[in-house]
Amino acid sequence: MQEKNSRRDAIKKVATMALATSTLSSLTSGASAKESRKDKTSLKGNIHHSVCAWCYSGISLDELCKASKKMGLHAIDLIDVKDFPTMKANDMEVAIVASINKDWGIPKGWNRREHHEPLIEYYKYLIDETSKAGYKQVICFSGNRAGLDDEQGLKNCAEGLKKIMSYAEQKNVTVVMELLNSKVDHHDYQCDHTEWGVALAKAIGSERFKLLYDIYHMQIMEGDVIRTIRDHHQYISHYHTGGVPGRNEIDFSQELYYPAIMQAIVDTGFKGFVAQEFIPKHKDKLKSLEEAVHLCDV
Q: Quick one: CA torsion of 181, 186, 187, 193, rounded to 10 degrees?
A: -30
How many residues are present in the chain? Answer: 298
Instruction: Locate the DSSP E strands across the chain.
Output: 48-51, 75-79, 93-97, 137-140, 174-178, 209-214, 236-240, 273-276
Q: What is the pLDDT of residue 103?
A: 83
pLDDT at residue 42, rounded to an integer:
86
Residue 2 has pLDDT above 90, yes or no: no
The answer, yes or no, to whether residue 11 has pLDDT greater than 90, is no
CATH topology of domain 44-296: TIM Barrel (3.20.20)
Phi, psi (deg, nearest 5) at residue 100:
-115, 105
Strand order in the sheet with 75-79: 48-51, 273-276, 236-240, 209-214, 174-178, 137-140, 93-97, 75-79
What is the reported pLDDT for 17? 45
| All structural domains of the chain with their residue ranges | 1-42, 44-296
Q: What angle do CA 283, 98, 268 make, to 5 degrees?
A: 85
Q: Is the pLDDT of residue 20 over 90?
A: no
**pTM of this structure:** 0.86
- Give pLDDT tens digits for 206-246: 999 999 999 999 999 999 999 999 999 999 999 999 999 99
Average pLDDT score over residue span 161-177: 98
- Neighbour count for residue 254 (Cβ, 10 Å): 19
As a whole number of Å, the end-to-end CA separation of the chain is 68
The average confidence (pLDDT) of the chain is 90
Query: Percent of the chain, pLDDT > 70?
Result: 86
pLDDT at 102: 80
HSE of 132, CA atoms in CB hemisphere, 13 A: 9
Contact predicate 114/132, CB 8 Å? no
